[in-house]
Structure 1
Amino acid sequence: MAQVESLADVRYVREHELAGALQGADVLFMWDFWSDALARAWPGEGGPEWVHIASAGVDRLLFPGLVSGDAVVTNSRGVFDEPIAEYVLGLVLCFAKGLHTTLRFQARREWRHRETERASGAHAVVVGTGPIGRAIGRKLSAAGLAVTGIGRTARGADPDLGEIHGMDELHQTLGRADYVVLAAPLTDLTREMIDGTALKAMRPTARLINVGRGQLVAEDDLVEALRERRIAGAALDVFATEPLDESSPLWDLPDVIVSPHMSGDTIGWRQELVHLFADNLGRRRDGRPLRNVVDKRLGYVPYEETPR
């Protein structure tokens, strides 16, 4: 944080100290993006003019007091795009080539020849048209997959996601996918959008990959669909409750890959988060536009060019 400390008087606080620290503070850098403490500590008048969160998702920040006030919210869009896209590509190849099954057989010293699938030519539907979804679309397209997007509103030919369908066409579009990739923000529109009805709309050979937020999926419905083989598998990096409880059946289902919310965390990611915040802090000091300003009503940064 030396770069930040050269630009401002910095105070580091834990949750129980937050309420006192917010009074008179100009800026809050919310490093612990899982904490709910800010909603309890938010002072309303006299609080920070700008809140920045060290994540792409901002659902923890969008409590009524902050949404209705004048404070600007920014996120860490751009840090995780390419790492998450690489992770998703790895999961697609893992499923297509049965690598998770190969490792299971290897652990049992079991020699079992199998045929695998081609990733090239498969169809991926990416739900979420922000920078992470777009990076995923580019990576999958480069690997030979056909890509379709689902976003808030339908759009024509898109350079990263092909044709983009609106959320009102979710179920219809899911039925054409070999891979359904969730990279959408958590909003009232997207919460538990993958429920029993959506899962029934998917092909029995399709796989679900979630790198967005756990609450995008109704987990009980997913467990039921997997047990009944109504879909072929799932790779889950995020969950409704984290860490995932040891008693969850998701740990043991044979075609489920569980990872601990790590898809975007490559070596050096913490430094990148700080560098982004320091850049924005310098912009604020110089009177230049901030990067990654969140539309608090929508719950995400509208897709547009980042100010230079």
Structure 2
Amino acid sequence: MAPAIRAGVRVTTAASIRAPQVAEHALALLLALTRRLRQAWAAQGERRWAAEAIAPAVRDLAGATAGVVAMGTIGQEIAQRLKAFGMHVLATRKDPANPYMFVDEVLAPERMHELLARSDAVIVATPRTPVTEGLITKGLLGQMKPSALLVDVSRGGVVSQGALVTALQKGKIAGAALDAFETEPLPPNSALWGLENVILTPHVASASPRYWQSATEIVCRNLARLREGRPLIDEVTPEWYGASAQR
């Protein structure tokens, strides 16, 4: 994508048609963590009634604080659903003065550490660009509460996977659910497979039976807009992609 942008080629994505599905998947992963569904599923496979083990560990979303990184199309869809569950929603955005419906507080990117420190659940929904690659580092993960949960529906490489594994193994955070990985498919020898406080899905957050029909419709609409000199749907601009894409 970066070479095309540097060459002046106009680039678009399908972000707007994927946003509802990714948001639903993010909420499904978060609920699976808070309601201990992995543990219930494991007990079901063993035909074991595990109420005494599961019930004391479940959590409520209502009244808890969620942090969304960042507030693009997908982030806004996620925030809307988090708010519907009664959560206090924080979010990061380059223009923090711009209010968003369903978001209680918008923080500038340099306050990312504050978002992680205050959140009971962090949902990473930023695209991977030269600016966001390696965004969630060991240092930022260290700002999270030991009881906090991380949900990653972004792209592999935004969250430092090695640092996340260490944080999970050492109990620095309580759990994580991931749909994006630095290497895909996730190698069989990855430590993530064996962690009991982790839920993994194979990069399917945007899956939808209507995806290709919707994507084709956007391509056709954008071809018409390009011919007419109108703004394109879901266009990736150099400003959006990051300053390094303009070099």
TM-score by length of 1: 0.74
C-alpha displacement of 1:156: 5.7
* Whole-angstrom CA distance in 2 between matches of 1:182 and 1:139: 15
Question: For residue 78 of structure 1, what is the amino acid of its counterpart?
Answer: S
Q: RMSD in angstroms over aligned alpha carbons?
A: 1.6
SS in 1 for 2:240: coil
Structure 1 contact 155–163 (Cα < 8 Å) conserved:
no
Residue matched to 1:73: 11
Cα distance, 1:276 vs. partner?
Answer: 0.8
Residue 142 of structure 1 corresponds to 84
Q: Match for residue 43 of structure 1? A: none
> Counterpart in 2 of 1:273?
215
Task: Give the letter aligned to residue 135 of structure 1.
Answer: E
Which is bigger in relative contact order (C-alpha 8 A, separation at least 6)? 2
2:31 to 90, 93, 97: 93
1:1-308 aligned at under 5 Å gives the runs: 61-63=1-3, 66-113=4-51, 114-115=54-55, 116-155=58-97, 157-299=99-241
**Is the 1:235–1:258 Cα contact (8 Å) retained in structure 2?**
yes
Q: In 2, distance between residues paired with 1:170 and 1:118? A: 24
Q: The residue matched to 2:203 in structure 1 has which SS? A: coil
Q: Distance in 2 between matches of 1:200 and 1:179?
A: 14
Distance in 2 (CA, whole Å) between partners of 1:286 and 1:191 is 35
SS at match of 2:154: coil
Distance in 2, Cα, partners of 1:157 & 1:164 = 7
1:10-41: CA deviations, max 9, x gaps?
xxxxxxxxxxxxxxxxxxxxxxxxxxxxxxxx
- Matched residues in 2 for 1:193 and 1:138: separation? 24
Matched position secondary structure for 1:215: coil
Task: Give the number of the structure whose residues are more often helix, by fraction.
Answer: 2
In the TM superposition, residue 188 of structure 1 has moved relative to its aligned partner by 3.0
SS of structure 2 residue aligned to 1:208: strand
Q: CA deviation at 1:152?
A: 2.5
Cα separation, 2, equivalents of 1:69 and 1:96: 46
Amino acid corresponding to residue 62 of structure 1 in structure 2: A
Q: Which runs of 5+ in 2 are unaligned?
A: 243-247
Q: Normalization by structure 2: what TM-score?
A: 0.91
The 3-state SS of whatever aligns with 1:124 is: strand
Conserved 8 A contact 1:67-1:297: no
Stretch deviating more after TM superposition (181-190 or 282-291)? 282-291
CA radius of gyration, larger in: 1
Shift of 1:295: 1.1
TM-aligned CA distance change 1:168 to 1:289, over 3 Å: closer
CA distance in 1, matches of 2:99, 2:218: 31
1: CA distance, partners of 2:176 / 2:216: 33
Percent of aligned pairs with the same amino acid: 33
Deviation of 1:176 after TM superposition, in Å, equals: 0.8
Segments of structure 1 that go 5 or more residues without pairing to the other structure are 1-60, 301-308
Equivalent pairs, count: 238
Residue in 1 aligned with 2:245? Answer: none
Q: Residue 153 of structure 2 aligns to which amino acid in structure 1?
A: V
Please tell me whether the aligned partners of residues 130 and 241 of structure 2 are also in contact (alpha carbons under 8 angstroms): no
Q: Post-superposition shift, 1:296?
A: 2.1
Runs of 4+ residues deviating >6 angstroms: none
- Find the aligned partners of 1:285 and 1:187 in 2 and give their Cα distance: 28
**Deviation at 1:94?**
1.3
Partner SS for 1:214: coil
- How has the CA–CA distance of structure 1 residues 231 and 297 changed in structure 2, closer, same or farther, with 3 Å as cutoff? same
Higher deviation after alignment, 245-254 or 181-190: 181-190
Q: Distance in 2 between matches of 1:239 and 1:157?
A: 31
